Each structure stands twice: as structure tokens, then as C-alpha cells.
Amino acid sequence: SCEIFVVADKRSEILGSITAQNRQYPEQNGGFVFLKGKVYGIGKIYLGRARGEYARVIFAHTYLSKTVKPEGWTNWRFSGNES
């Protein structure tokens, strides 16, 4: 388990993200997994942004405070990769 404490830059309209995972092919096994952790802090932030078409990030059994934007993710210009 891990704790991630976020301090978002309130001066910027562009919110940051905790992760920016990238896989170049769907067959690749890579990705990030956060298990039994906690995400909290100051300001608003995304859990992640798709750095590529096949990005894979999992937050499982993890406490997410109101610091995390309700959308959770930004597709970062990769339409269709919102979930």
C-alpha cells in the first residue's frame, strides 16, 4: 500500500495528474497498479492521463479523497480512452 499526498498548483487551469502511463501496443503487459492505498491532499488533480492509446492504470481498494477530480481521468487528447 502507499499514500500519495497531492499539492495541486491552484494558479494553473491545467490540472496535474498522478500518473501518465504509456503502452504502445495492446499486447504489452505493462501498467501501474495502486493497491490498498490512499490519495489525498490540497487542490484538485486527476488520477491519470492517457500518455498513449493503450495506457493502463488501476487504483484498487484505494481511498480517493475529494482532491481527485470526479472524472478521475483525462484522455489527454486521446479520444475514447476515458475509462
> What's the number of domains the chain is made of?
1
Please check whether residue 55 lies inside any domain of the structure: yes
**Residue type (1 letter), 33:** V
Full residue range of the structural domain in which residue 34 is found: 3-74
Does 79 reside within a domain? Answer: no
Which cell is 55 given?
495506457
Residues 74 and 44 sit within 8 Å (Cβ to Cβ): no
Q: What is the mean pLDDT of residues 23-39?
A: 93
Q: Please determine, for residue 82, whether its predicted confidence score (pLDDT) is greater than 80.
A: no
Q: How many CB atoms lie under 10 A from the CB of residue 34? A: 19
pLDDT at 80: 64
Give me the mean pLDDT over the 25-43 stretch.
Answer: 93
Q: Is the residue at 82 inside a domain? A: no
Quick one: CA dihedral 54, 74, 51, 79, positive or negative? positive
pLDDT, tens digit (0-9, with 9 covering 90-100), for 42-67: 888 999 987 878 889 999 999 999 99
Residue 83 within a domain: no
Residue 15 inside a domain? The answer is yes
Q: Which three cell numbers stand for residue 32?
A: 501501474
Assign 3-state DSSP to the chain and report helix, strand, coil percentages, each to 5.
0, 35, 65
Is 37 contained in some domain?
Answer: yes
